[in-house]
Amino acid sequence: MIVFSAVEKRYDDHVVLSELDFTVSAGEHVCLIGPSGSGKTTILRLLMTLEAADGGTIHVGGECLTHMLRGGRLVPADEKHVREVRKRIGMVFQQFNLFPNMTVRGNLVEAPTRVLGLSGDEANARAVELLELVGLSEKIDAHPTRLSGGQQQRVAIARALAMRPDVLLLDEVTSALDPELVAGVLTLLRDIGERTDITILCVTHEMGFAQDFAHRVLMFDGGRVIEDAPPSKLFAQPDHQRTRDFLRAVIDRA
């Protein structure tokens, strides 16, 4: 479903990702872990086209996100091409990023009507159904600013799902939440993981969640994948000293 080949990303002289290769199969849940600055979030931002890669190619669902064919040659993708491929990808942000000038309903129906061309009734039905899933049916006409962080994040998850994405990107979605609200959001994500066959890429510091949610965990360090294993293996018997140190540090903190 997702293929990174030889992807490079630099900010000025600082190399964030170098010669990065990895593949994610359809329906797989992959958690990205590692110290901050190791390039995990950059991977999600590249997939969401919030940033452009400096080298290499990224494919999503068989389509190339970074390049396109024109006259038999591969050229950098233009806005229109990117837009088409991007529709299949949804993202949930650390800071929720709900639109504060719209109600919860407005947030949920905006893109389905404007981008997917759903009728108002269809989009509304979808919004109602998704709010039920995230347990916020009674907040449909509330403004996001009136909601708690946990509620805002549930709405943001519903908003991403309203686009029926094939791929869902979760960028530290519980990092900005008060501790007592984290468990609820994680339970919701587990529920979504079980009920749907969406491919999920998740950057997280919640090792307990990674352990039972992920099919595979990628350990990042210095812009490279240094370890790629099922959670049962990676958390119990990591191959690398770096992974062991990282896990120890994270577990000590928690």
Partner 1 sequence: MPVPSSVLAAAAPVWDWGYALEVLPDLLRALVVTIEITLLGSALAMALGLVIAVLRRARIPVLDQVVWAFVEVVRSTPLLVQIFFLFIVAPRFGLTLSAFLVGVLALGVHYACYTSEVYRAGIDAVPRGQWEAATALSLPHSRTWTAVILPQALPRVLPALGNYVISMFKEVPLLLAIGVVEVVNAAREAGSQTFRFVEPYTIAGLLFLALSYPASMLVRRLERRVGTV
Rounded to a whole number of angstroms, the minimum distance from the CB of residue 96 to partner 1 is 8
Give dist(CA 74, CA 253) in Å, integer: 47
Under the criterion CB under 8 A, does residue 111 sit at the interface with partner 1? yes
Task: Answer for the pair 104, 142: CB distance below 8 angstroms, yes or no.
Answer: yes
Q: Which of 86, 105, 139, 242 binds partner 1 (CB under 8 A)?
A: 86
Contact set for partner 1, span 179-218 (CB under 8 A)? none
Binders of partner 1 among residues 12 to 51 (CB under 8 A) are 48-50
Contact of 130 with 162, CB cutoff 8 Å: yes
Residue range at the interface with partner 1 (CB under 8 A); choices 20-28, 109-117, 141-149, 232-240: 109-117
Q: Indicate the residue among 100 and 120 with the shorter CB distance to partner 1.
A: 100
Contact pattern for partner 1 over residues 45 through 64, marking x by CB under 8 A? ---xxx--------------
Where in the chain does DSSP place strands (E)? 2-11, 14-24, 29-33, 55-60, 63-64, 67-70, 73-76, 89-92, 167-171, 199-203, 216-221, 224-229
Q: CA 3 to CA 36: how far, in whole Å?
A: 23
Q: Which residue number, 91 or 186, has a Cβ lying nearer to partner 1? A: 91
Q: How far apart are CA 161 and CA 68, in angstroms?
A: 27
Nearer to partner 1, 107 or 204 (CB): 107
Tell me if 128 sits within 8 A of 147, measured CB to CB. Answer: no
Binding stretches for partner 1 (CB under 8 A): 48-50, 83, 86-87, 89-91, 93, 95, 97-102, 110-111, 114-115, 159-160, 163
